[in-house]
Each structure stands twice: as C-alpha cells, then as structure tokens.
Structure 1
Amino acid sequence: MADAPVPPAEIKPAGGSLAPFRYPAFRAIWTANLFSNIGSMIQSVGAAWLMTELTTSHVLVALVQASATIPILLLGMFAGAIADNYDRRRVMLAAQSGMLVVSAALAALAYTGSIGPLSLLALTLMVGMGTALNGPAWQASVRLQVGRADLPQAISLNAISFNLARSVGPALGGILISLWSTSLAFAINALSYLGMIVVLSRWRPESLPPTREPMLAAIGRGLRFCASSSPIRKVLIRGFAIGFGAAGLQALMPSIARDVLKGSELDYGLMLGGFGIGSIVTALWISKIRRRLGSEAVVTAATLIFAAAQVLMASATGVPMAIVAAFFGGMGWASAMTSLNVAMQLRSPEDILGRCLSIYQAVTFGGMALGAWAWGSVADFASLQTALHAAAVWLLASLAMHFFAPMPTREEGRLDAVPESKP
C-alpha cells in the first residue's frame, strides 16, 4: 500500500454524467454490481411470491420486502463503524461471501420443499444482514473509485445500476419462476455474487490505513457528528419520512398483483420493472435538475409524484395501469433517494464517512421497514387500497417539513474536499 496515495481527482478532471466510467475500478465494480443487483431482484421476486403461496397474511408478505431493510435499522451503525475501522474492500468481500452462502441455502431448502413462512423470513433477514454490512463500506468506497468532482455523477450511475437491475430482474425472475420454481431464482442470486467477489479480490485501491477506534466509541463519534450537523439532521428527517411513506407501494405491490389484480408472478415482475424504468429515466437527468432548482425543490416534487403513484396504484383495475403507477413511483423514488444520498456524501468527513452513511441508511431504510409493517397492518385490518391511500396521505403531510427541516442549500455544510461538479 502506498505511503502517499494519489486521489483519483488528481489524475483526471471532472467530466459529464458518464465521466466516472473513465475510471477502470469504477467500471469493473459498477458492472459486477449490476449483475449482483439483478440477482438480488430475481431473489426478491421469488421470495415475495413464495410467501404469497405460503401464507395469506399481508403483514408477512410485506415483511419479506422489509427483510432487506430491518437489518439496516438494527445493525447499520455497527456496519458503519466496521467500514471505517477496517479495510472497506475486505468488509465488502466478507459480506458478499456471506450472502452467497445464505442464498445457496435458501435455494436448497426451496428446491426440497423444506421451507415455511418463518424460515423464509429468517433467511431473507440473513441476506439483509449481509446487505447492512456491505452498504456503508460500498457507498464509502465510491470516493476511492472516482475523482472527487465526479462523486455526484458516480452516485447517480450507481443508482442507475440498481434501477437497471430493478427493471430487468423482476420480469426475468417472474419468467424463471413460471418456467421452473422459486428455487431457481434463489440459485441464480447465489451465483450473481461471484462476479463482485472476483472484482473485489483483484481491486487494490490506494488509501491510507484506517484509524481504529473501539466500536462503541466509533459509533458515538458518528452519532455526535450527525446530531451536531444541522444540514445532516435535515437530510435524516426527510429520509425517514419519505422511507416510511414510500414503503406502502413497494411492500404491498406483490399483494396488489396477486389479490387485487389476480395477476401472475410475471405480472408482478412487470410491475417492478415499470418501477425500475421510471427510476432509470429519472436518474439520467436528475443531477442537472437538482443543480438548477436545488435539492428542496427536487425532494418536494419527488414526494408529490410518489404520493400520486400510490393513489394511482390503489385505483388500478388492470396490470397496465399498475405498471404506469409503478413507473411514476420509480420516478419519485429515484429523485428523492439520489438527492438524499448526494447530500449526505458531500457533507460527511472521510474518516467517519462509513458511519455517517450507515446512520443515513439506518434512518431511511429503517423508516421503510417500519412503514412496511405499518401499511401491511393497515391492509390486514382494512384493505390494500386503504393502506396505499394512508401512505399517500403520510407523504403529503411530510411536505410540511419544508418549513422546519428543509433540504440543505447548495453550499450549506458542504465539505471543500468533495466539490460538486458543474454542468
């Protein structure tokens, strides 16, 4: 490891929206992550659909979707401290390897018919634990892959990678399940981790060795910084509110597809694909819009769009209408989440970046997990349509935060080390 690492920003100047692809490390990791995300989406469809076959409980179906976010709520801050205390590449390798093993076990149990609702939920939670461990290290490592000025574009491209997978993976998962069974979906996801493991094994980023702190002291330092930073507090508040409300559409979509629209697993995959396409279309231009109008305007518009998508989904009388609703939901989701992520990255110091991002993830995706449980409970008590309308009302009410927790202004709390590139 070099004693004086040369930051990528000193190697190449900032460029356009595709500039991060000039960096070999980013290209390789982005590509491997795309295939890994496709595998995850295929498994997500398989797990959600399998749960609808194992139980009629809307709460359990919603909790399958929340299983990827509940561990982030419970373990996220520990994962952030681990990402800052240890080599982030090795942390990601450990997480990817663990998820491979669990997904392979899930495939074997599903193939033999030895899985029930609780064991399915337990195994998807274990995959979620791997996601929680991987997340802060992966997001913090983006600074080691591209130049500082290209960081916002790299974050947007990573969002596109995820949403490309969200577009292709669900439909592919629906086809595979209809042709074979959910066990094939789980097996393909296990194999999809191999590419990322190989790329990470070969990647040797130049960086200073991390300064280790006791775990609780490290977590406390990250919490104190986030609590003392007014811009970051605003981002966290908005992230929780949007995550809680947005969970309605995403967690209840499999139940809408099966119980309301009487659709198949392929129909559900197409609905998720519509969500992903909406996210991709938005991610391609959202950085330019955010630079022109500011984060507050973008997040406000995203909230309104997502609330409208939930109302449209509740009114859907057929799969095409549901796909349109999911498309608009994807637009709102990508606009909000990309803006929140960029705001956090640009205002977090490098030495505690993993902790700051883990706190953001814990708050935002923890809000999603709580929302999935809440809206699933409303659906069981009343109806799926009532739950979606209630989630939309929550999002509309959250717009009041414009007055007491507005998104940070362009220069508020910004760190000079990571300037945002100009259009």
Structure 2
Amino acid sequence: MAAIAGAPRRGTLSAFRHRSYTIFWVGALISSTGTWLGNLTVPYVLYQMTGSAVWVGVAAAAQFGPAFVLSPLGGSLADNRDRRMLLLWTQAGLGVITLLMWLQWASGFHVPIVLVGLLTLFGILNGVNNPAWQSLVNDLVPREDVVSAVTLNSLQFNLARALGPAIAGVLLATLGATWAFFFNALSFVIVVVTLFFVRPHISRILVPVGGGFASQWRDALAYMARSRAMLLAIALCCVVGLLGNPIFTFTVVFAETVFETGPVGMGMLTASLGVGAVLFAIFQSVIRGRGGSFGRRAATAVVALGLALMVMGLVPTLGWGIAAGLAVGAAFLAAFATLNSAIQLMAADHLRGRVMAARHMVFSGSIALGVLISGVLAEEWGVQLATIIFGAGLIVVAAIVVLVPGLGFRLLDEAEVEPGAIVPPLDPET
C-alpha cells in the first residue's frame, strides 16, 4: 500500500501557469459559450412551438440521457487511447451535429421531434467525449494544480453559462434562432483548433489493459467499491444532477410563466446562474484554499444550493429571480467543483478515465431523470413549486449523509491523500 502523503493545493488560478492548460481553457470557454447558445435556444424554440414544459424536459433528457449508457465506453477509450486525439474526433463529430441543427432551422423545417432526435445524437457522442475531456484536464497540470485545473474547468463552463445565454437572449430578440444555432456550430471549430496545440504535462504511458471491455469495468467498479469516500462523492454528484441541475433548463419556463419577460429577460435570468458561479470562483481565488476540508466545503455547498433553489421558487419578480440565480450558480459550482475535484484526486491515473466515466454516467443519468420529473411537476403544479421541492430535497439528502452511521461528509477528506493510499490501484496488467 502506498504511503499516505499530502496533496498540496495552490491558488485557484495556479493551473494557468501551464501553457497547454491555458490554451485548452480558452478554447473550451469559446466552445462552451457556443454550447450555451444552443442550450438556451433549443428549449426556447421548443417552448415557443409547443407551450409545454414536458417537451422542454424531454429535450434535455435526450441530450443528457445517452451518456448514462455510453459513458462506460467513453471511460474505457479514455484509459486506453490518446485522450487528445479522441477529443479531436468527438469534438469534430459534435460540431457536425450542431451544424445539422442550424441547417434544420435555417431551412424552415421546424419539427420538434427532429430537433430532439439531433439532440439525442449529440448526447450519444457526448457520452463518449466527456470522460476523455475530464481526464485530459488532469493530464495538462501536475498533481498540486489539479484542484485549480478542475475548478477553472468548472469556471469556464459557468462563465460560458453567463456569456452564452446573454448573447442568446440578444440574438433571439434581434436576429432570431437561426443565428444562435449557427454560432453554436461555429464554436466547435475553435476547440478543435486549440486541441492541435495542447500537449500533456507528462506523457502518459498507455498500459494495455487485458480482459476486454467487461473485465476492465469489473476492475474499475471493484476499485471504486473499495472506497466509501469515492462512492459518496459519486452519489452526491448524482443528487446534485438530479435536484440541482434542472433549474438551468427551466429558466425558460420561469421567464415565460412566472416573470412574463421576453428573450432578453430570459437570457439575463439564465446568465445570472453563470455569473454567480464566476463570482464564487473569484471568491475562492481570494481565500486561496482557506475554505476548509473537502467534506466541509461539500456539506456547505449542498445545503446552500438547496436553500438557494427554495428562494428561487419563492421570488415574485425578474430582479429578485436574477439575485436568486446568482446564489444558485455560486452554490452549484461550489458543490460540483468540490465533488469533482475529490473524485479526480482519489482516482489512480490508469483508472481515471473509467472513474470519471462512472461519475459522468450517474451525473448525466440523474440530470435526464431530474429534468423529466421537473417537467412533469412544472406542468402539473407550476415551476416554482417544483423548484422548491427539489431544493428541499437537497437539504434532506445532506441531513441523511450527516446522520446515517458510517457516512458523513468527512469521508471526502480522503481526497487529501495520494491515490492508492486509501484505495490501492488494481494491477493494470490483470
């Protein structure tokens, strides 16, 4: 068993000291901004066509659901192939699919089921893409900068969550949905170009993993099952996806039915979620790792997210909705970045792709289930009550983790040690 050693952490911005990571981050920011153009445009046009929150939920489930099935394949590929080359192929494929969305809308063929079908294809390929994306983040920096890299990766996604909807709101109000779809497709070109200039911090040795796909996943699942800390972190990611993520899809319904505002107001409301995340990242940079242990940060973030969602469900005006959105965005990033960092640090390198695939699988599956449930609840009882129920659910889960013997958020503090000290890696040759 490896000796326990500290996992040193630097400031939130320390990963930017590495050129390849910085290039990757900028390309990802541009691509994610384009993706959020699409993420707001799709539910907007669907709600305009159908007037149904259920259709909005079905579209989100189509985008995230396939990852539940395909993430294991993506994880195995991420562990057995060059992650950068794998991303070049998957990002190019995702760009082609978004180009087809633009062509569908530009041609006037405005059929909801066709748009949902293209989203399903996007979700299928993204299920293969995401484990490699998450794992490559680790490859671009040394271990002491992993927490910074993961947090900044979440930051760029949430910064895009602020920029993309704001741009989408203006585009939808002025030029229309066609241009929003076009810029989404164009953004994928940027990330493909940046990947040509990215090089890992340390070259990975691709160790052949014997036994085939099923055997590889038996080893990975056995590895994860030996750590209550890793299982708890993955389970909490699932809960955050199930109960915390649907608000990002249903801002469209809030804007239309609660605040009675147009595309610009809808864009501002959705953007507030991303702005809140950016403000939290700045706060993290200021305190520079003085926010306590992984367990304490995770507990605080999950409870804060639950409270913020409950407030979001109670506010009566757009202004107060934007203020609540800032709190939701900050708490969501705090929860997700903390849990994701803990999982990344606990995973051994030769198994990290499969571990992150398992995390992505349960997270994406929980998002798909959450938006479906939220869509039905919003249709029957209203989007405000649905949001309050989900927020209360997060607080209940946090209480269960604290009160059930053998659990406790303090288990996540195992991420402070070297991988293998708590969960010895399985022999990669077996």
Under a length normalisation based on structure 2, what TM-score does the superposition of the two structures give? 0.89
Q: Equivalents in 2 of 1:19, 1:409: separation in Å? A: 26
Aligned pair in 2 of structure 1 residues 413, 320: CA closer, same or farther (>3 Å)?
Answer: closer
Q: How does 1:184-333 map to 2 (within 5 A)?
A: 184-205=179-200, 206-213=203-210, 214-286=212-284, 288=287, 292-333=291-332
Q: How does 1:135-214 map to 2 (within 5 A)?
A: 135-205=130-200, 206-213=203-210, 214=212
| Aligned length in residues | 407
Tell me the alpha carbon deviations over residues 76-103 of structure 1, each in whole angstroms, 9 at most, x when there is no partner: 1221111112111111111101111000
Aligned pair in 2 of structure 1 residues 410, 239: CA closer, same or farther (>3 Å)?
Answer: closer
Query: Comparing 295-304 with 109-118, which one deviates more in the overlay?
Result: 295-304
TM-fit CA distance, 1:204? 4.1
Q: Equivalents in 1 of 2:384, 2:366: separation in Å? A: 21
TM-fit CA distance, 1:412? 2.2
Indicate the residue corresponding to 1:128 in structure 2. 123
TM-fit CA distance, 1:127? 1.8
TM-fit CA distance, 1:114? 0.7
TM-fit CA distance, 1:352? 0.8
TM-fit CA distance, 1:411? 5.0
Q: Equivalents in 1 of 2:362, 2:235: separation in Å? A: 8
Matched residue type, 1:412: E
Among candidates 69, 74, 86, match of residue 74 of structure 1: 69
Q: CA RMSD in A?
A: 2.1
| Residue pair 1:163, 1:276 contacting (<8 A) in 2 also | yes
Matched residue type, 2:408: P
Indicate the residue corresponding to 2:18 in structure 1. 23
Q: Equivalents in 1 of 2:41, 2:184: separation in Å? A: 10
Partner SS for 1:202: coil
Partner SS for 1:412: helix
| Residue pair 2:296, 2:410 contacting (<8 A) in 1 also | no
TM-fit CA distance, 1:284? 3.0
Matched residue type, 1:207: R
Q: How does 1:412-423 map to 2 (within 5 A)?
A: 412=414, 415-416=417-418
Aligned pair in 2 of structure 1 residues 347, 112: CA closer, same or farther (>3 Å)?
Answer: same
Indicate the residue corresponding to 2:390 in structure 1. 391
Q: Equivalents in 1 of 2:9, 2:408: separation in Å? A: 29
TM-fit CA distance, 1:415? 4.9
Aligned pair in 2 of structure 1 residues 225, 316: CA closer, same or farther (>3 Å)?
Answer: same
TM-fit CA distance, 1:286? 3.8
Give ranges in structure 2 of 5+ residues lacking alignment: 1-7, 422-430
Q: Percent identity?
A: 25
Q: Equivalents in 2 of 1:372, 1:207: separation in Å? A: 38
TM-fit CA distance, 1:210? 4.2
Is residue 2:364 matched to residue 1:365? yes
| Residue pair 1:304, 1:396 contacting (<8 A) in 2 also | yes
Partner SS for 1:93: helix
Q: Equivalents in 1 of 2:106, 2:335: separation in Å? A: 39
Tell me the alpha carbon deviations over residues 317-366 of structure 1, each in whole angstroms, 9 at most, x when there is no partner: 22111111111110110110011001101100100101101111111232
| Residue pair 2:310, 2:392 contacting (<8 A) in 1 also | no
Among candidates 388, 405, 408, match of residue 406 of structure 1: 408
Q: Equivalents in 1 of 2:409, 2:63: separation in Å? A: 26
Query: Comparing 219-228 with 325-334, which one deviates more in the overlay?
Result: 219-228
| Residue pair 2:155, 2:277 contacting (<8 A) in 1 also | yes
Partner SS for 1:334: helix
Q: Equivalents in 2 of 1:385, 1:333: separation in Å? A: 18
Indicate the residue corresponding to 1:9 in structure 2. none
Partner SS for 2:346: coil
Give ranges in structure 1 of 5+ residues lacking alignment: 1-12
Q: Equivalents in 1 of 2:355, 2:262: separation in Å? A: 41
Q: Equivalents in 2 of 1:225, 1:411: separation in Å? A: 18
Query: Comparing 410-419 with 94-103, which one deviates more in the overlay?
Result: 410-419
Indicate the residue corresponding to 1:7 in structure 2. none
